[in-house]
Structure 1
Amino acid sequence: MQDEASTQQQIADAYEAVAASTKAASSNFYYAFITLPPDKRNAVYAGYSFCRLADDIVDDGEYGDKTGEALDSLQAHLSAAYDGNFSTNGDSLEITEATPDLWRALGDTLHKYPIDQQHLIDVVEGCRMDLDGTTYETWDQLVEYCKRVASATGLALIEVFGYEDERAVEYAVDLGIALQLTNILRDITEDLSIGRVYLPSEELAEYGVTVDDLRNKNVTPEYLRFMKFQVARARKYLESGVRLFPLLDKQSRQCPETMTQVYEMLLDRIEKNNFDTLNHRASLSKFQKFKLLSVIWLRSRGLRFV
């Protein structure tokens, strides 16, 4: 039997591994997460790594026609993790054997924080919606997708951040919709290349935009009007989502503030590119990200960035 010191070292090593994978996978989120206190930061790395794994299973194509089974396996192991059981016996896809650090870190996180299992299940089910290509007829259908892949992640995160006012749940949902919609607007071309059109077909038709316009990167006046509407919609959800911040534990507020300001800057970049996300992908430089983080850090200490 392992002694306590050995077990704790394994857990510490596991958290270092999920931190490294988070940094490699998403610098935007990594810079936000490092504003958290160490224990909460580690928990967020573990939760994010799980969500990222679900996304990678669908997007990377490693499992081919067994991708659905891989998601089933991931979900089954999540249930086992909540029960404190990490056995991979009988699992031909060996999801947990491929990511031992993730499961060790996630198991420790679930022991420390009251994360509702349904939130993480919703993330897996949201990723499952991407399996056979993606089209959405209505905005309501797209909202359901956004809630699963993004808002559910946010709902899991606020359990780590800490809150008492139940309005935090509503605002976290809206913040997730805003962030996911911004991603969709930024990544139209990349998504088309893998057979996905997240933009609601009813709204595309209403504005006179065709999928061929998107595929051919044809920036028509109709497309620009459509994009202006969508950017305004994303900002509206952001405005609702920021009401979350005062309801969170003080030590945790900088993290979602940083994430939100990054996405506000992405929307600004889309506007500066004249709403042409087909030919110009909105992104921020490392300098912009570090400058933003510095501003938030200084403000948290009552200082001004000049």
Structure 2
Amino acid sequence: MTVDEAQAYCTALTKTSGSNFYYSFFFLPKARRSAMYTVYAFCKAVDSAVDEPAPGSQPQEELARWRVELDAAYHGTPTWPITISLAHHVKALSIPKVYFEELIKGVEMDLHNNRYVTFDELSSYCYRVASVVGLICLHIFGATSARAQDYAVDLGMAFQLTNILRDVGTDAAQNRIYLPLEDLKACKYSEKALRQQTYSPEFQKLMQFEAARARQYYDKARAALMALPPHERRALTVAEIMRGVYSRILKKIEASDYQVFGPRLRLTTSHRLTIAAGIWLRSRFS
């Protein structure tokens, strides 16, 4: 398969994903947009190996294969469509291999951990499955300073915590509890109540506490952004679009009084596009 054919495969996969991130990719130049499609395809495929395994597959073996293909991508000998495309972009953009290795380790944690006692334990997971993706994206955006890295790490934490809050019922139904058990205990809300999707004042208190923590990470990311020089802030416009979308999902969770046991809370496509266009215009004329 040629690099162009591999890129087309990654682009098609991303376009059919329905991801909240997809609408922000429109605002990248073509070459960087192609890199983003490929990175998204890699992340999605690795995640699906564990969360949506193909019939008859063994997730641990699938992750081992992805590790082999990642090595091949960095040595110029990939054989899968995603890694053929990835090999081209990581070379062009100097993306460190360790970020992808950390991502695979994070996804692998779901095979062994379905509870997190403390927030420190959860933080390690969030860093691996979300913050390192932000660090990868910095190379695509062209802003890799230490302060920009702070921004990416904090924003990744905020995104993952928002996902956890939105999907808390779905995860609990699969016997996965990402909310720290120490927080459940402090709010007098039991694992059993969460598995049974019991909505109560204790649950509201727990969710309010976790939402405030997510807000703190959004605020930290915003502070890091404002400390950057103007040219780096402009380079991070796409990341700011993502922040705009995800922070509004969190706001929607809060506005619902944390009614997350029903249909998944979403933003409409038109709402996401409006957010994206507004942030892009402000970045260009501010």
Cα contact 1:133–1:195 (8 A) shared by 2: no
1:279 aligns with 2:271: no
Alignment CA distance shift 1:245-1:12 (3 Å) = farther
1:300 aligns with 2:280: no
1:161 aligns with 2:141: yes
Question: Mind listing any 5+ residue stretches in structure 2 that lack a counterpart?
Answer: none
Alpha-carbon shift at residue 268 of structure 1 (Å)? 1.0
**Counterpart residue identity of residue 26, structure 2:** I
Q: 1:55, 1:205 → 2: CA distance?
A: 30
Cα contact 2:244–2:276 (8 A) shared by 1: no
Counterpart position of 1:74: 66
Q: 1:169, 1:283 → 2: CA distance?
A: 28
Cα contact 1:273–1:280 (8 A) shared by 2: no
Counterpart position of 2:102: 122
Alpha-carbon shift at residue 130 of structure 1 (Å)? 0.6
Q: 1:54, 1:125 → 2: CA distance?
A: 10
Alpha-carbon shift at residue 244 of structure 1 (Å)? 4.6
Counterpart position of 1:52: 44
Counterpart position of 1:32: 24
Q: What is the TM-score of this pair, normalised by structure 2?
A: 0.92
Counterpart position of 2:126: 146
Alpha-carbon shift at residue 61 of structure 1 (Å)? 2.4
1:263 aligns with 2:255: no
Alignment CA distance shift 1:36-1:155 (3 Å) = same
Cα contact 1:178–1:238 (8 A) shared by 2: yes
Q: 1:14, 1:261 → 2: CA distance?
A: 31
Structure number with larger C-alpha Rg: 1
Counterpart position of 2:178: 198
Q: 1:132, 1:163 → 2: CA distance?
A: 35
Counterpart position of 2:209: 229
**Counterpart residue identity of residue 160, structure 2:** Q
Q: 2:247, 2:28 → 1: CA distance?
A: 20
Alpha-carbon shift at residue 250 of structure 1 (Å)? 5.5
Moved more, 104-113 or 141-150: 104-113
* 1:152-189 Cα shifts (integer Å, max 9, x gaps): 11111112212253122222111111100000000011
**Percentage of matched positions with identical amino acids:** 36
**Counterpart residue identity of residue 206, structure 2:** F
Q: 2:263, 2:44 → 1: CA distance?
A: 25
Q: 1:165, 1:284 → 2: CA distance?
A: 32
* 1:76-129 Cα shifts (integer Å, max 9, x gaps): 110111011125xxxxxxxx3xxx2x1221111012011111100011010001
What number of residue pairs does the alignment pair up? 283
Alignment CA distance shift 1:283-1:261 (3 Å) = same
Counterpart position of 2:6: 14
Q: Please provide the CA RMSD for this pair.
A: 1.9
Counterpart position of 2:274: 291
Q: What is the TM-score of this pair, normalised by structure 1?
A: 0.86
Alignment CA distance shift 1:133-1:190 (3 Å) = farther
* 1:133-164 Cα shifts (integer Å, max 9, x gaps): 51111100000000000011111111221225
Moved more, 73-82 or 158-167: 158-167
Moved more, 144-153 or 278-287: 278-287
Counterpart position of 1:83: 75
Question: Mind listing any 5+ residue stretches in structure 1 that lack a counterpart?
Answer: 1-6, 88-95
Cα contact 2:234–2:284 (8 A) shared by 1: no
Counterpart position of 2:116: 136
Alpha-carbon shift at residue 243 of structure 1 (Å)? 3.8
Cα contact 1:245–1:256 (8 A) shared by 2: no
